[in-house]
């Protein structure tokens, strides 16, 4: 059995169930706590941005994920 690790915090993900205990975003596997923290960091800019587009949101999300992966924490 393969062990899955969060790409942000590098911790193993217990009982990995997609979209429940971890999220697969492009090439990154992110545990639920890290995903919630990333969403919380993005929420103010998403609410204040007009006009909202899916492309803009994906760019913001990927930039934040890459920054968190480089730091090793959210």
- CA-derived radius of gyration, the chain: 13
Those residues whose C-beta lies under 8 Å from the C-beta of residue 57, and which sit 6 or more positions away, are 46
In a structure prediction context, what are the per-residue pLDDT tens digits for the chain, which is 74 residues long?
678 999 999 999 988 888 889 999 999 999 999 999 999 999 999 999 999 899 999 999 999 999 999 999 98
Alpha carbon of 57 to those of 1, 5, 36: distances in Å? Answer: 35, 25, 16
Range of the domain at 50: 1-74
Show the beta-strand stretches assigned E in 1-74. Answer: 22-25, 28-31
- Report yes or no on whether pTM surpasses 0.85: yes
* 3-state class percentages of the chain: helix first, strand second, coil last, to nearest 5: 45, 15, 40
């Amino acid at each position: 059995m393969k062990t899955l690790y969060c790409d942000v915090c590098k911790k193993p993900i217990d009982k990995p169930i997609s979209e429940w205990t971890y999220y697969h975003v492009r090439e990154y596997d992110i545990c639920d706590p890290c995903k919630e923290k990333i969403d919380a960091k993005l929420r103010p800019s998403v609410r204040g941005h007009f006009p909202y587009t899916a492309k803009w949101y994906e760019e913001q999300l990927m930039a934040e994920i890459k920054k968190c992966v480089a730091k090793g924490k959210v």
